[in-house]
């Protein structure tokens, strides 16, 4: 009886979170939600619905086992691809990340599956390179083709390799997050070239070429948001797309170009959209605080402290990938250490928080 009650509760949890996402999309994008492939699969495959609840509760190994049971009842390649993708991300986040990477690559390579699920699989590989970012994960992702070719030879520039991985995802299907990850690589280059204390050198033609890529990727991401506004499953990515767009706009502001749009307006939209998802909310707040610190420094200390408070007051974000990233950045694995040190200088409570993570 107790197991049955837990199972029912987890299925209800999946339904509640889906309803919350649909409600946000309805009120913020003026679209009426309709029955979808995802909703249909939830209703007809009990193992899938149960696994969704387990995944959202971060019970990854249990979720993987139930997605495998759901996979046994898959009807056609579309369902098979969807369910194998869910097995892969559960394995990746659980106790078997290497198997998860292999399954994601298997999904990405199978041309019988939909272009979108194949692109999502590559996108998730990129997520693992940032969220887990161990040497073991990096080696597994880049050990064979086409991923091996993304490494830039002897220099082994992981930043370029990650950009090329997202370009590969984009070549399959232009999802919002890979488009913005690509744009972010170029916007960071513009900060390096023309931002405060610029160190790089580039011709005006090169700068305009980079801005053209960014402009195209921003437009593609906007189109993606419009296309998923009525999709219960894909709609979960809207907050992340918004804050990643804001990070790009923030780089452009710092580099001196305000013509692409206001990053703060977009950050606020992202925070409104992410209230049901603490992982996305924590990432948006960290990113927003970092932008304010880089652009305005201590002049915006009060706003920065408000954004950072939930990291050290209570445990709201304790289990998020954002905190995992912050913990790992004491070694500057992703290049965020200077921003974290700047935030610690502005907010002494955040400095204490960094020390609690082993800094």
281-299 pLDDT tens trace: 999 999 999 999 999 999 9
End-of-domain residue from the set 132, 157, 173: 173
Give yes or no for a contact between 175 and 127, defined as CB atoms under 8 angstroms apart.
no
Task: Inform me whether the pLDDT recorded for 11 exceeds 60.
Answer: no
pLDDT of residue 195: 60
Task: Inform me whether the pLDDT recorded for 6 exceeds 70.
Answer: no
Residue 213 in domain: no
Region 75-96: what's the mean pLDDT? Answer: 96
Residue 346 in domain: yes
Place of tokens 């706003």: 303
For residues 233 and 86, what is the distance between their CA atoms, to the nearest angstrom?
A: 12
pLDDT of residue 19: 44
**Number of separate domains in the chain:** 2
> The domain containing residue 132 runs over which residues?
35-173
Is the same domain home to 282 and 160? no
Region 34-48: what's the mean pLDDT? Answer: 86
Is the same domain home to 42 and 168? yes
Is the same domain home to 291 and 162? no
Is the same domain home to 48 and 161? yes
CB neighbour burial string for 231-256, b if at least 16 within 10 angstroms, e if fewer: bbbbbbbbbbbbbbbbbbbbbbbbbe
pLDDT digits (tens, 9 = 90+) for 195-252: 666 566 677 889 999 999 999 999 999 999 999 988 878 899 999 999 999 999 999 9
Residue 184 in domain: no
pLDDT tier for residue 334 given thresholds of 50, 70 and 90: confident
Task: Inform me whether the pLDDT recorded for 13 exceeds 80.
Answer: no
End-of-domain residue from the set 173, 194, 216: 173
From start to end of the chain, where are the E strands? none
pLDDT digits (tens, 9 = 90+) for 86-135: 999 999 999 999 999 999 999 999 999 999 999 999 999 999 999 888 89
pLDDT of residue 24: 37
Is the same domain home to 288 and 168? no
pLDDT digits (tens, 9 = 90+) for 341-353: 999 999 999 999 9
Give yes or no for a contact between 275 and 317, defined as CB atoms under 8 angstroms apart.
no
Task: Inform me whether the pLDDT recorded for 32 exceeds 80.
Answer: no
For residues 322 and 5, what is the distance between their CA atoms, to the nearest angstrom?
A: 32
pLDDT of residue 199: 62
pLDDT of residue 202: 72
Residue 141, CB-side half-sphere exposure with 13 Å CA sphere: 27
Residues of the chain with pLDDT > 90: what percent? 76
Task: Inform me whether the pLDDT recorded for 73 exceeds 50.
Answer: yes
End-of-domain residue from the set 110, 141, 173: 173
Residue 283 in domain: yes
Task: Inform me whether the pLDDT recorded for 36 exceeds 90.
Answer: no
Is the same domain home to 156 and 285? no
Residue 152 in domain: yes
Averaged pLDDT of the chain: 89
Residue 232 in domain: no
pLDDT of residue 34: 46
Task: Inform me whether the pLDDT recorded for 76 exceeds 70.
Answer: yes
pLDDT of residue 133: 83
* 3-class DSSP assignment, residue 291: helix
Neighbours of 175 (CB within 10 A): 26
Element (H, E) at 293: helix 278-296
pLDDT of residue 26: 37
Residue 41 in domain: yes
pLDDT digits (tens, 9 = 90+) for 135-180: 999 999 999 999 999 998 654 588 999 999 999 999 999 999 999 9
pLDDT of residue 177: 98
Axis-axis angle for helices 337-346, 348-356 (nearest 10): 130
pTM: 0.86
Residue 102 in domain: yes
Is the same domain home to 165 and 284? no
Place of tokens 């946000």: 24
Give yes or no for a contact between 206 and 192, defined as CB atoms under 8 angstroms apart.
no
For residues 186 and 252, what is the distance between their CA atoms, to the nearest angstrom?
A: 10
Is the same domain home to 169 and 293? no
Any idea what the CATH number is for the domain that residue 55 is in? 1.25.40
């Amino acid at each position: 009886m107790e197991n049955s009650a837990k199972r029912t509760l987890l299925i209800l949890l999946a339904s509640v979170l889906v309803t919350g996402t649909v409600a946000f999309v309805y009120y913020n994008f003026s679209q009426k939600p309709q029955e979808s492939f995802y909703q249909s699969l939830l209703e007809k495959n009990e193992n899938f619905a149960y696994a969704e609840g387990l995944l959202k509760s971060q019970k990854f190994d249990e979720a993987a086992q139930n997605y495998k049971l759901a996979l046994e009842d898959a009807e056609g390649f579309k369902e098979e691809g969807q369910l194998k993708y869910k097995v892969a991300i559960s394995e990746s986040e659980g106790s078997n990340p290497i198997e998860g990477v292999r399954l994601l690559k298997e999904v990405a390579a199978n041309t019988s599956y939909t272009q979108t699920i194949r692109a999502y699989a590559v996108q998730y590989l990129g997520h693992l390179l940032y969220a887990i970012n161990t040497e073991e994960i990096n080696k597994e992702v880049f050990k064979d083709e086409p991923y091996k070719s993304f490494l830039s030879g002897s220099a082994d520039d992981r930043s370029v390799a990650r950009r090329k991985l997202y370009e590969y995802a984009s070549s399959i299907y232009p999802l919002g997050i890979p488009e913005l990850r690509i744009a972010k690589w170029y916007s960071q280059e513009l900060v390096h070239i023309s931002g405060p204390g610029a160190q790089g050198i580039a011709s005006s033609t090169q700068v305009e070429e980079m801005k053209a890529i960014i402009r195209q990727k921003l437009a593609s991401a906007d189109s993606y948001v419009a296309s998923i506004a009525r999709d219960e499953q894909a709609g979960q990515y809207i907050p992340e797309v918004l804050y990643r767009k804001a990070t790009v706009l923030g780089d452009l502001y710092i580099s001196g170009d305000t013509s692409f749009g206001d990053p703060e307006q977009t950050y606020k939209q992202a925070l409104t959209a992410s209230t049901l998802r603490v992982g996305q909310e924590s990432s948006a707040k960290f990113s927003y605080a970092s932008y304010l610190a880089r652009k305005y420094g201590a002049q915006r200390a009060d706003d920065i402290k408000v954004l950072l408070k939930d990291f050290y007051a209570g445990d709201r974000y304790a289990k998020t990938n954002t905190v995992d990233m912050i913990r790992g950045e004491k070694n500057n694995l992703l290049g965020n250490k200077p921003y974290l040190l700047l935030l610690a200088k502005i907010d002494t409570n955040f400095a204490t928080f960094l020390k609690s993570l082993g800094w």
